[in-house]
Amino acid sequence: MVKLSVIVPFYNVQQYAPDTLKSLRANARDDFEFVLVDDCSRDETPEILARAGRELPGAVFVRHEQNGGLATARNTGIDAASGQYLTFLDGDDWLAPGYYPRLLAVIESLDCDFVRTDHVQCTGRARTIHRAPHGRRGVALDPRAAILPADRSTSVDYPYAWAGIYHRRLVDRGLLHFTHGLRTAEDRPWIWKLHREAESFAVAGLLGVHYRRGVASSLTQIGDVRQLDFIRAFDQVIEETARDRDAARLLPKAVRTYCAIISHHLGSIERFEPAVARRLKALSANALRRMPQNVLDEALDSMDLQRATRLRRLRRRPAPTGAAA
């Protein structure tokens, strides 16, 4: 029986894929499988993965006929996985040797739905440890209780799918799949759904994932129209949270986070192509008008002056007809 399925999407990462695959080999075990999903790469990534399929124990190779984006590639991996537990890695990141056996031991000992972990961010030669934003560690907790407070960084603000491990019962309950087609912020509706609807989680002080930041091909570095999918992602967070039994308590957090992300993108608008920048402003203005207005008023009142002023100015901006996300 497969104990752990590791889902790794790849897209045009020929420069980094060999290191990623080498680190997977250093984590292999007889009861592990590695689901390698090529999202229709146009460089040498498919050839690198084909060789890995012969050299990496437990490798399962899946190739998309057309590029679908990270969310869709992860869903393909979930559907192909057979493990009792699942985890994720991105095709340009890497692992410390023996990390996955230690991660598996943690979730088995705690017997919870999912476990979140710290990670190492790598920007060039710089290394920075990023901690999962929850103080209690090594005990099973209620995921819903970790969403709040609204004005501080909490577990839903740490959305990285690869910073954790997940029990298969989350797949069976329809909680582990991502929203199909989202090109960015795909992990935001996903982490909110987990924390609203899963029954138990834990945080482990375990380091092993090395997240490569600043990769030129990463969507976080590219100012094209795909970046605007964050609007769709956070609209979904708002819509689903508004239907939750605790909507009155949770919506202020969702709205405040949405506002912070809009402000972040507006604050670096020069990195977007001119047409995309104009569309960003129009879509964001419409998004502000779609939010529950009383909750939005409270969120803006709680933010610093610079961000609040920027968003209030945008809120008053006439939105062009048809500027839908």
Q: What is the pLDDT of residues 108-143, one digit of tens each?
A: 999 999 999 999 999 999 999 999 999 899 999 999
Answer whether residue 177 shows pLDDT above 90.
yes
Is residue 320 assigned to a domain? no
Q: What's the pLDDT at 216? A: 53
Closest by CA to 121, choosing from 165, 158, 146, is 158
State whether 114 and 87 are in the same domain. yes
**Least confident stretch, 52-56, 72-76, 267-271, 296-300:** 52-56
**Quick check: helix, strand or coil at residue 6?**
strand
pLDDT score at 113 = 98
- Residue 88 — very low, low, confident or very high, per pLDDT cuts 50/70/90? very high
Please count the other Cβ atoms lying within 10 Å of the Cβ belonging to residue 122: 17
Q: Which residue has the tokens 């959305």?
A: 159
Give the structural domain span for 38.
4-218
* 177 and 63 fall within a common domain: yes
Q: For the chain, give the mean pLDDT.
A: 94
Give the end of a domain, one of 218, 237, 255.
218
Tell me what pLDDT residue 223 has.
63
- Is the residue at 273 inside a domain? yes
For residue 167 the two structure tokens come to 């029990």
Q: Do 184 and 42 share a structural domain?
A: yes
Considering the domain architecture, whether residues 310 and 211 belong to the same structural domain is answered as: no
pLDDT reading at 322 higher than 90: no
User: In this structure, is residue 172 part of a structural domain?
Assistant: yes
- 324, part of any domain: no
Q: Predicted confidence band at 9 (pLDDT cuts at 50, 70, 90)?
A: very high
Going by pLDDT thresholds of 50, 70 and 90, the confidence category of residue 295 is very high
Which pLDDT score, from 0 to 100, does residue 214 have? 77
Over the stretch 242-292, which tens digit does the pLDDT of each residue have? 999 999 999 999 999 999 999 999 999 999 999 999 999 999 999 999 999
Q: What whole-number distance in Å separates Cα of residue 260 and Cα of residue 132?
A: 19
Do residues 208 and 244 share a domain? no
Can you give the pLDDT at residue 69? Answer: 94
The tally of domains found in the chain comes to 2
Residues 78/6, Cβ–Cβ less than 8 Å: no
Write the CATH number for 61.
3.90.550.10
Give the pair of three-digit tokens for residue 314: 């945008």
pLDDT at 53 over 80: no
Cβ neighbours for 46, distance < 8 A, ≥ 6 positions apart: 38, 63
Look at residue 224 in the predicted model and tell me its pLDDT. Answer: 77
Same domain, yes or no: 57 and 18: yes
What is residue 31's three-state secondary structure?
A: coil
How does pLDDT run across 190-238, given as a tens digit for each residue?
999 999 999 999 999 999 999 998 765 554 545 678 899 999 999 999 9
Q: Give how far Cα 236 sits from Cα of 193, 226, 243, 254, Å.
A: 10, 17, 11, 10
